[in-house]
Amino acid sequence: MKAITNLARKSLRYKRKDISVHVCQNGRKFKYVELLNISQSGMLIRGQINLKNCVLSKISFNKKNVFEQKGTVVRKVKSVESLPAKKACFFFSKDKSVYEYGLAFEGDASAFKHFLLLSNMEMRLEFHGH
C-alpha cells in the first residue's frame, strides 16, 4: 500500500452543482462554462477557451460569495459525451463544447480555498442531519 504522500494527486476534488463558473480571457466578457469538478488547486471545466492565454475565473457559490481566480490551462481532452444545453444560470446560457479543460490556479487563493473547504463541510453536515 502506498503512503498518501506518494500519490500523484495531492488535492481532493469535489463535484458540486451549487457552484457556477464564468471565465474571461484577454479582457473579454465573462462567459459561462460547465464545472465538472473543483479542488483547492484547480478545476475541470467544459466550455470553449483559448489554450495560450491566462484564464480569469469567476467562481460563484452564491451571490455573496464570489471569487476571482487566475489560472492556466494545463490539460485539454475531448469529452466523452456532449451534454444538451440546460437552463441558463446567472443569465448566461450553457456552452455545448465537446472539450474539457483542466485549469491550475495561480497565486494566493487562501480565501477561496478556505471557503471551498468550509462550504463542503457544511453541505456534508446538512446531508447527515447535524
Contact 72/30 with Cβ under 8 angstroms? no
Number of compact structural domains in the chain: 1
Question: What is the distance in angstroms between the CA of the first residue and the CA of the last residue of the chain?
Answer: 34
pLDDT beyond 80 at 125: no
Q: What pLDDT score was predicted for residue 67?
A: 95
Q: Is residue 25 part of a domain?
A: yes
Residue showing cell 506518494: 6
Question: From the CB of residue 72, how many other CB atoms can be counted at a distance below 10 Å?
Answer: 14
Q: Is residue 44 part of a domain?
A: yes
Q: Is residue 105 part of a domain?
A: yes
Q: Is residue 7 part of a domain?
A: no
Q: Is residue 55 part of a domain?
A: yes
Residue-wise pLDDT for 7-39, tens only, equals: 555 678 889 999 999 999 888 899 999 999 999
Residue-wise pLDDT for 88-113, tens only, equals: 555 555 555 578 999 999 988 889 99
Residue 53's CATH number = 2.40.10.220
Range of the domain at 70: 16-127
Question: From the CB of residue 57, how many other CB atoms can be counted at a distance below 10 Å?
Answer: 24
